[in-house]
């Protein structure tokens, strides 16, 4: 039982790390630019497809992964210049309209280019094994590598945000955009940078997850909503909040699906417990989010001042 | 603080023009069935019914989103409650439309009362996200409800009866019942938004602080509007289930909620005629493009992006630009 728990905890952490990579860019877009971007999940999906395509042409995992980054960066810049830049001053509703449209456009383009059947990406050989974990249990190296890479990215982001000049401007921008602009910083260039970096991180997450999950046109949708949950629990605009909330959501979701039915079995008869477990498990993270917002209406790490 | 940057005040002349437009739309819709039969294309009636069902849903959303600045991203949940009310009751042997509507209204209103009271503690982006969360909860509840088909949904044995009469069995009967309810919803919401209640709601949208200063507590007004809106959307759900003779959790996915916001923004937020037109145009566009190509979403998405970029205020904004809706400004 303990081994199972440990295993699921690691799975949860790995899922959480993935959520963090997608959420990090989006929380800054939300927080600093006050921009509702529904199309962020699609960037994650496009990252997966670019990875699958690169693997198909080069056959080399590491080369493909390296190539995904500039491709996503360029895509992010292009989207920013063509669409997002024109919507910063507009209402949230116009932003919803435009980014909902972008979801449709990008998902359909992906279907036209690669078809709607799921694609799979082979795992690199160096990481395809598994290591011993507490007794007879083994854990795949690749998943551990994902956790490691995610933690490294989180550390790098923390360094950039807490210790560099750009990071200082980002924090100032999240607190008061107009003031930063008035003090002589080109806030639009900062936005462009944040958006492109966010697109790159989301695409990177889609790329590294492709050997574990298959790449399909719906993968962006499912992660987008969970990313929103992460951002709102963590507090809009807070990368630190996104990190802790992502781990929390990843672990609660994974453990809930596994242990919810087991715990319920102790309370009611097995058939009812199985049904109730299936019903409650996917709702768990949303209940968590509603509870957090009930007690802290601006999230765990959000500023308590209402916008 | 104000949520919508575009101005939403409706000058008198624009208002009269909009009301005339709405009446013209109703008149046009009323002649669809005979026209479709005359042209030998009865499927037009089915499409027009779907358009009107979503028009009712869009009207309900406009009450809270347009007039109350509460951007609900979980409104499709109420479409789901309405349609599952039909599925559950008809399975229990109650096939009367009126009883099903009462059940749908009660279920939707109750869910809205509880979730609305929690959601209204938050503002702005957080409100959007918490309504999304509640919508997802409802969605996953029905996805895992295996007795009612779960993810696959469930086909209905037959359409509902009206006071024992098989009024809805034909497409034309369902069409006119839907049209009647659309007109009723429009008229009811038109009067409501122009009543004292509606004025307070609109005032809260413009500035909650000022409304408090002159002695109104916004919360009861906002919550009441939230519950009314949910109840009307529940009725739309009952009609949707009857139209498709099939019920599935897909009705309440976040995509559907997003689409409902899209309808409003496309038509012009804060105007009932705009909301209705937006829904009619959206469904017509989807159905039309889908007949044209299987990759219709590409074209539809591009249209949405272009409208957002080029025409703030949606179709109403576009009409205003060409002076078709005269503003006395």
Q: How far is Cα of residue B276 from the mean position of the Cα atoms in its chain?
A: 8
- Going by pLDDT thresholds of 50, 70 and 90, the confidence category of residue A245 is very high
Find the DSSP H helices in B120-217.
124-143, 171-194, 196-206, 208-213
Residues in chain B: 329
pLDDT at B234 over 60: yes
Choose the closest CB to A112 out of B3, B5, B295.
Answer: B295
3-state secondary structure of A306: coil
Mean pLDDT across A298-307: 65
Per-residue confidence (pLDDT) for residue B241, from 0 to 100: 95
Mean pLDDT across B4-26: 69
Lowest mean pLDDT among A216-220, B197-201, B255-259: A216-220
Whose tokens are 């550390």? That residue is A155
Q: Which residues of A touch B264 (CB under 8 A)?
A: 93
Per-residue confidence (pLDDT) for residue B324, from 0 to 100: 57
Mean pLDDT across A237-265: 87
* Rounded CA separation B33/B111 (Å): 36
State pLDDT tens for residues B79-132: 999 999 999 999 888 889 999 999 999 999 999 999 999 899 888 888 988 899
CA neighbor of B190 nearest in space, from B121, B118, B271: B271
Q: Which residues of B touch A112 (CB under 8 A)?
A: 295, 298
Any residues with CB less than 8 A from the CB of B92 and at least 6 apart, and which? none
How far is the alpha carbon of A261 from chain B, nearest alpha carbon, in Å? Answer: 13
pLDDT at B266 over 70: yes
Contact A102 B305 (CB under 8 A): yes
Strands A130-132 vs A138-140: parallel, antiparallel or unpaired: antiparallel
Contact B126 A298 (CB under 8 A): yes
One-character DSSP codes across A66-122: HHHHHHHHHHHHHHHHHTGGGGTTS-HHHHHHHHHHHHHHHHHHHHHHH-SS-B--P
pLDDT at B327 over 60: no
Per-residue confidence (pLDDT) for residue B51, from 0 to 100: 95
Per-residue confidence (pLDDT) for residue A25, from 0 to 100: 86
Per-residue confidence (pLDDT) for residue A303, from 0 to 100: 65
Q: How far is Cα of residue A231 from the mean position of the Cα atoms in its chain?
A: 9
Lowest mean pLDDT among B24-28, B146-150, B171-175: B146-150
* Rounded CA separation A50/B291 (Å): 31
Per-residue confidence (pLDDT) for residue B163, from 0 to 100: 81
Per-residue confidence (pLDDT) for residue A294, from 0 to 100: 82
CA neighbor of A93 nearest in space, from B315, B165, B3, B43: B3
Q: What is the mean pLDDT of chain B?
A: 88
Domain ranges in chain B are 12-28+42-321
Mean pLDDT across A258-271: 77
Q: What is the mean pLDDT of chain A?
A: 87
How far is the alpha carbon of A278 from chain B, nearest alpha carbon, in Å? Answer: 6
State pLDDT tens for residues B276-296: 999 999 999 998 898 888 888
Query: What's the sign of the alpha-carbon dihedral A168, A170, A171, A175?
Result: positive
State pLDDT tens for residues A156-209: 999 998 899 988 888 888 778 888 888 888 888 888 888 999 999 999 999 999
pLDDT at A224 over 50: yes
State pLDDT tens for residues A83-128: 998 888 888 888 999 999 999 999 999 999 998 888 888 888 888 8
* Percent with pLDDT over 70 in chain B: 92
Choose the closest CB to A297 out of B6, B122, B265.
Answer: B122
Number of Cβ within 10 Å of residue A176's Cβ equals: 11
Contact B125 A93 (CB under 8 A): no
Any residues with CB less than 8 A from the CB of A52 and at least 6 apart, and which? A114, A119, A120, A121, A210, A215
Any residues with CB less than 8 A from the CB of A166 and at least 6 apart, and which? A160, A190, A193
Residue A207 has, within 13 A of its CA and on its CB side, a CA count of 27
Q: Which of B130, B142, B270 to mutate to test the interface with A (most CBs of A within 10 A)?
A: B130
pLDDT at B6 over 70: no
Per-residue confidence (pLDDT) for residue A291, from 0 to 100: 87
Per-residue confidence (pLDDT) for residue A188, from 0 to 100: 84
Contact B301 A95 (CB under 8 A): no
Any residues with CB less than 8 A from the CB of B329 and at least 6 apart, and which? B11
Q: Does domain B12-28+42-321 have CATH number 1.10.3470?
A: yes
Bigger pLDDT: B2 or A188? A188
* Rounded CA separation B96/B103 (Å): 11
Contact B308 A95 (CB under 8 A): yes
Bigger pLDDT: B220 or B5? B220
How far is the alpha carbon of A290 from chain B, nearest alpha carbon, in Å? Answer: 6
Bigger pLDDT: A58 or B232? B232
* Rounded CA separation A211/B308 (Å): 37
- Going by pLDDT thresholds of 50, 70 and 90, the confidence category of residue B322 is low
**Burial B167-193, CB ≥16 within 10 A → b, else e:** bbeebbbbbbbbbebbbebbeebbebb
pLDDT at A300 over 90: no
């Amino acid at each position: 039982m303990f081994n199972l728990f440990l295993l699921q905890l690691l799975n949860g952490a790995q899922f959480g790390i993935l959520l963090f990579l997608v959420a990090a860019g989006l929380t800054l877009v939300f927080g600093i630019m006050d921009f509702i971007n529904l199309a962020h999940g699609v960037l994650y999906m496009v990252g997966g497809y670019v990875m699958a395509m690169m693997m198909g042409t080069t056959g080399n995992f590491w080369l493909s992964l390296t190539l995904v980054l500039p491709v996503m960066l360029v895509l992010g810049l292009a989207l920013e210049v063509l669409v997002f830049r024109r919507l910063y001053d507009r209402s949230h509703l116009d932003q919803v309209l435009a980014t909902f449209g972008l979801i449709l456009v990008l998902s359909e383009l992906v279907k036209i280019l690669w078809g709607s059947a799921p694609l799979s990406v082979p795992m690199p050989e160096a990481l395809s094994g598994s290591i011993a974990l507490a007794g007879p249990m083994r854990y795949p190296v690749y998943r551990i590598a994902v956790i490691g890479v995610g933690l490294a990215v989180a550390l790098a982001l923390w360094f950039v945000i807490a210790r560099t000049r750009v990071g200082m401007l980002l924090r100032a921008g999240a607190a008061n955009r107009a003031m930063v602009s008035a003090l002589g910083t080109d806030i639009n260039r900062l936005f462009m940078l944040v958006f492109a970096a966010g697109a790159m991180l989301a695409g990177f997450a889609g790329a590294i997850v492709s050997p574990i999950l298959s790449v399909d046109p719906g993968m962006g949708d499912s992660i987008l909503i969970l990313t929103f949950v992460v951002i709102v629990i963590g507090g809009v605009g807070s990368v630190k909040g996104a990190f802790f909330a992502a781990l929390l959501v990843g672990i609660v979701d994974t453990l809930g699906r596994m242990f919810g039915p087991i715990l319920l079995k102790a309370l009611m008869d097995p058939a009812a417990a199985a049904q109730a477990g299936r019903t409650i498990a996917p709702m768990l993270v949303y209940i968590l989010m509603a509870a957090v917002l009930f007690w802290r209406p601006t999230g765990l790490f959000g500023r308590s001042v209402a916008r | 603080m104000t949520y919508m940057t575009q101005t939403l005040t409706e000058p008198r002349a624009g208002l009269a023009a909009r009301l005339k437009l709405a009446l013209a739309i109703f008149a046009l819709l009323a002649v669809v069935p005979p026209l479709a039969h005359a042209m030998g294309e009865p499927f037009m009636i089915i499409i027009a019914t779907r358009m009107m069902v979503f028009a009712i849903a869009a009207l309900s959303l406009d009450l809270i989103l347009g007039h109350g600045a509460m951007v609900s991203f979980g409104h499709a949940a109420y479409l789901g409650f309405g349609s599952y009310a039909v599925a559950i009751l008809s399975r229990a042997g109650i096939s009367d439309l009126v009883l099903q509507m009462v059940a749908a209204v009660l279920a939707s209103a109750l869910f809205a009362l509880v979730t609305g009271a929690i959601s209204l503690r938050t503002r702005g982006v957080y409100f959007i996200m918490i309504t999304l969360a509640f919508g997802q909860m409802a969605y996953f509840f029905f996805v895992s409800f295996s007795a009612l088909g779960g993810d696959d949904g469930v086909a209905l044995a037959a359409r509902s009866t009206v006071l024992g009469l098989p009024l809805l069995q034909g497409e034309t009967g369902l069409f006119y019942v839907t049209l009647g309810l659309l007109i009723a919803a429009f008229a009811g919401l038109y009067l409501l938004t122009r009543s004292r209640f509606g004025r307070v709601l609109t005032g809260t949208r413009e500035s909650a602080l000022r409304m408090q200063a002159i002695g109104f507590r916004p919360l009861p007004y906002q919550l009441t509007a939230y519950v009314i809106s949910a109840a009307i959307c529940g009725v739309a759900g009952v009609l949707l289930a009857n139209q498709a003779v099939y019920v599935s959790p897909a009705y309440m996915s976040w995509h559907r909620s997003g689409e409902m916001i899209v309808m409003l923004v496309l038509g012009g937020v804060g105007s009932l005629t705009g909301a209705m037109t937006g829904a009619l145009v959206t469904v017509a566009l989807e159905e039309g493009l889908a007949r044209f190509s299987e990759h219709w979403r590409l074209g539809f998405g591009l249209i949405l992006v272009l409208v957002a970029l080029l025409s703030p205020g949606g179709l109403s904004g576009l009409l205003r630009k060409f002076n078709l809706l005269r503003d006395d400004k």
